[in-house]
Structure 1
Amino acid sequence: MTDSDRARPAFRSRGTHRARQKRSHALALFFVAAGALLGWVLPRWERHLPEAGLTFDASTAQATLAAIAGGMITLAGFVVTAITLVVQTVQTMSPRLVAALGHFSSYLVLFGLLIGTALFALVALSQVRSDDVPRVTVTLAVGLVLVDAVTVLSLLASLRHAVTGGGLARAVGERLRTVVDQTYPAAAQASGPPPPAPGRPGEGEAIRHRGQPALILAVDEPRLVRLAARHDIHVRFLHTVGDFVGSDTAVAHLYPAPGRHPDEARQRRLARRVAACVRFGPSRSIEQDTAYGLRLLADIAIRALSPAINDPTTAIEALDQIEDVLLRLADRAHGPYWLVDEAGRPRVSCPAQHWPDLVSLALDETLLYGSANPQTVRRLHALLDRLLAATADDRRAPLAERREALHRLAATALHDPLLNAVAAQPDPQGLGGIREPP
């Protein structure tokens, strides 16, 4: 399929980083508030119920609740320390990964659960009397300790993936596959090029970024398309998601439908509503930005290949994910695209990268920094061979150029004939894989 204007329906990101953050904060606060409230209400409520639960005398119940409260507070401090260490480790792979992956929202919920349990025990402790022991409350506190312990063990076990380059590459690859399927629909879902929007790029009502200089993080596509369809307008974006824009920079232009001449005041109101569909921020997000996902994978690979780290196996794990993403992109339409409304009419025009741009972003720096490492060269040979075999003729030129560049760079960096011959063998494992029969 040749690169041309493509059309696709609008989609809503499956949970943006900001939305996940808000949910995590809300859930953590809920656990804290619920723990305090339940510790106050439950002992009073159970006085009207038949006795049930574990049998404790007053002194034992008080000691148990006090131990639970102290233990949960200590455990919460341990979780904070563990998260801090993990963040520092992740930042050594790429400082952008922490924000991009949002790995640690679940740990905020865990922190809220632990503090909520501690508050439940402390408030319930004030309800224990020598002649009135809330047995259900104490039993529930013991049960919450078990729930907290299982949750802590489960989440800490997942940290072993978060602190490795391969685990981070797999996390980025998993998120990126979803983004690719949304932003680059399969060939059968892509329509032919729709008619161009009225007017030229410099005409129409300008939609400007009025805040501080920032990056375009995302566009609320469903809302924008509904707005364009309702008012019968076209929107042509001048910048794509991930671009840095300065204050008062024109981000897009708004065009009325042919034959319609709305008044300037209405156009300005529409422009403000369109501008509200664009979200800005200090750092890029992977949610609608396939190129940024590839950028993160390339960062992991080249950081692992640096002399200070010298970990080519991690670079191979990043290349595994890059290969999978490029294979998914190989038969998709690329370049500028249109968002269409429910009737299939084009409403929003957006710029986007072409196939050669994505190949360059994914591979060029790893070709440069990995050319002196036989393991990386062998994996790159296998990656390029597989992509060339799976790609249509009109998409092979960027791949063939990089295979030739890989031969030149490896021959220059690996002077020893034996190492040069070893590196010339394609190997999907880098080193140690099964060779193809001659």
Structure 2
Amino acid sequence: MKRTRLRLRQTTQEFWFIPAVMTALALILAEAGISTEEAYGVPDGLSFVYSGGETGSRNLLSAIAGSSIGVAGTVFSITIAALSYAAGSMGPRLLDNFTRDRGNQLTLGTFIATFAFSLYTLRAVTGSQDQPFVPHYNVTFALVLAIASVAMLVYYLAHVTGSINITHVANLLRNDMRDSLMSATQKEDPNRDLAVAPPPAFWQGGEVLHAPSGGYLQLLDHDLLLGRADEANVALLLHVRPGDYVFPNSVIAVGVPRLPDGVMDALTLGDRRTVGQDLEYSVRQLAEVAARALSPGVNDPVTAIDVIDRFGDALCSLQDRRWPDGVYYQDHQLRLVVPVTDFDGLTNTMFNMIRQYGKGSPSVMLRMLEVFRTTASCLKDDERRAAIRRHARLVYEDALANTANSGDRADIEKRYRELLDTLANGQDAEVKAAAQHAVQQAQGNRVR
């Protein structure tokens, strides 16, 4: 069932889906309007309905059909240009965010539906002397669609320029990342029992499952795997997690004492990574935007700083949430162990690439240390604070090694010391520093 929902969601997000549905509906409405008028005619009281003759309706429908398909071609051209810009400046993996955009799909669908409706109606106009027929309802509705097309064109021009704005893209990716984080983590429960996985020796001698084909693991149905393992009264260890590339004939699961039936039914493989269970994919998309911004050809540290801020936002939202254990029991019997993303892995994906590409930019390094400091004041868990300390140390060392200016080096050392104070003293140091900063600002305002 989850696999079916995944495929259905992927299909409905395709760029062609909404235009195809709107075109089909337009053809159905055109036929319904023609049939209704043939059966009942047009009441005299409906003054708003088109009342022209055969020649006028033909000319009108031809003009609407020709102009709508012409503007649709222009919309296609603008879309391709926007996609080319996005692929060049923000990375080809972000193209899905533009093709999945409902505004782009609705605009294209409106023009194609107008063309299909007008063309289908045009074929019903007859000018014979014995039995002339003009589908007045349809001509009226075609006029409505033409006006709607003009409105959609104005909307689209504003929408497409906003959709390729880097801040807008960063916010979209931030929302995807936050949704994935909330789905992957759970509310902290101090009374819960910590599930512990058995040692590696437990799985020795178990039955091994080799991957029949290759591809990215897009979806893992935990409930189905847990149910199959419980029915077979076995323990199952999975070696892959969503986002991993599964190589053909590689070991992906071990069952003790044997494998349950239908393990592959719970694993959905595909040609590309998808947002959802693959938490690191959403993070990598944002990290790639920052890495491209820091490349010598672009040299845009402001965009990298925007991305760092979004990462800090995501980490602070994890204050009261925990990672799943990846260990599942049924009736006190071990049934399933799956690998999961942890806080260390998440921060590695967030900051390693940015640090490596931005080590020569003092402004980026300073902002990373500032975000680490704020994040350290939000997080209470010692392991997570240790991960922040480790990344801060890496940033500090790389920044000093690649910064020659004495003033910039002094700023980096100051930010690093403030971070260490926050890690050592908790929120008290952060509150004290904020108070001192406010006092300094007030004093500066009085001097001015």
Smaller-chain TM-score range?
Answer: 0.7 to 0.9
Partner of 2:369: 381
Aligned counterpart in structure 2 of residue 207 of structure 1, from 190, 206, 209: 209
Q: Hey, what does 1:390 align to over in structure 2?
A: 378
Q: Report how far residue 323 of structure 1 moved.
A: 1.0
Partner of 1:31: 22
The residue identity in structure 1 corresponding to 2:359 is S
Q: Which amino acid letter does the alignment assign opposite residue 409 of structure 2? A: N
Of the three residues 402, 405, 415, the one matched with 1:413 is 402
Instruction: Describe the SS at the equivalent of 2:263.
Output: helix
Quote the offset at 1:27 in angstroms.
4.0
Equivalent in the alignment of 2:104: 107
Deviates more, 1:61-70 or 1:343-352: 343-352
Aligned partners of 2:236, 2:30: CA distance in 1, in Å? 55
Using CA pairs under 8 Å that are at least 6 residues apart, name the structure with larger relative contact order, 1 or 2.
Answer: 1
- What is the alpha-carbon distance in structure 1 between the residues aligned to residue 92 and residue 265 of structure 2? 29
Report how far residue 280 of structure 1 moved: 1.2
- What SS is found at the alignment partner of 2:298? coil
Q: For the structure 1 residues 246 and 404, does the alpha-carbon distance in structure 2 shift closer, same or farther, using more than 3 Å as the test?
A: closer
Give yes or no for contact 2:19–2:110 (8 Å, CA) kept in 1.
Answer: yes
* 1:172 correspondence with 2:168: no
Counterparts of 2:226 and 2:150, CA distance in 1: 47
| Residue 9 (structure 2) aligns with | 19
Q: Deviations over 1:51-71 (max 9, x none)?
A: 331332322221111111112
Q: Is contact 1:179–1:287 with CA below 8 Å preserved after alignment?
A: yes
Structure 1, unaligned stretches of length 5 or more? 1-10, 257-263, 427-433
What SS class does the counterpart of residue 329 from structure 1 fall into? coil
The corresponding residue for 1:5 is none
Residue 391 of structure 2: aligned partner: 402
Residues 119, 362 of structure 1: alpha-carbon distance in 2 compared, 3 angstrom cutoff = same
Query: How many angstroms does 1:178 deviate by?
Result: 1.0
The structure-2 alpha-carbon separation of the partners of 1:157 and 1:226, relative to structure 1 and needing over 3 Å to count, comes to farther
- How many residues align? The count is 408
| Contact in 2 for aligned 1:335/1:355 (Cα 8 Å) | no
CA–CA distance in structure 2, aligned partners of residues 85 and 36 of structure 1:
30
User: Offset of 1:229 from its aligned partner?
Assistant: 4.7
1:81 partner letter:
S
Moved more, 168-177 or 365-374: 365-374
Q: Is the 8 A contact 2:83 2:98 kept in 1?
A: no
* Structure 2 residue aligned with 1:6: none
User: CA separation of 1:85/1:101 partners in 2, compared to 1, >3 Å: closer, same or farther?
Assistant: closer
Q: Which amino acid aligns with 1:381?
A: L
Residue 278 (structure 2) aligns with? 289
Which letter maps to 1:206? V
TM-score of the pair, normalised by structure 2: 0.80
Aligned-residue offset at 1:171: 1.2
In 2 relative to 1, CA 223–381 (structure 1 residues): closer, same or farther, beyond 3 Å?
same
Q: Contact 2:195 / 2:328 at 8 angstroms: preserved in 1?
A: no
Task: Give the percent of matched residue pairs that are identical in Structure 1 and Structure 2.
Answer: 21
Match of 2:62 in 1: 66
d(CA) in 2 for partners of 1:13 and 1:424? Answer: 51
Whether the 8 Å contact between 2:293 and 2:303 is mirrored in structure 1 is yes
Question: TM-score normalised to the size of structure 1?
Answer: 0.81
Q: Mean Cα displacement is larger for which, 369-378 or 283-292? A: 369-378
**Change in 2 beyond 3 A, CA 1:229/1:39:** same
Q: 1:23 to 1:291 in 2, by over 3 A?
A: closer
1:281-360 aligned within 5 A: 281-334=270-323, 336-338=325-327, 347-360=335-348
1:58-97 counterparts in 2 under 5 A?
Answer: 58-92=54-88, 93-97=90-94
Distance, in Å, in 1 between the alignment partners of 2:189 and 2:98 is 30
Larger Rg: 2
Moved more, 400-409 or 56-65: 400-409
The corresponding residue for 1:162 is: 163
Segments of structure 2 that go 5 or more residues without pairing to the other structure are 416-434, 441-448
What SS does the aligned partner of 1:396 have? helix
Is the contact made by 1:13 and 1:288 (CA closer than 8 Å) also made in structure 2? no
Query: Alignment RMSD, CA only?
Result: 3.4
1:392-422: per-residue Cα shift (whole Å, max 9, x none)?
2332222123223333332332212233345
Distance 1:101 1:208 in 2: 37
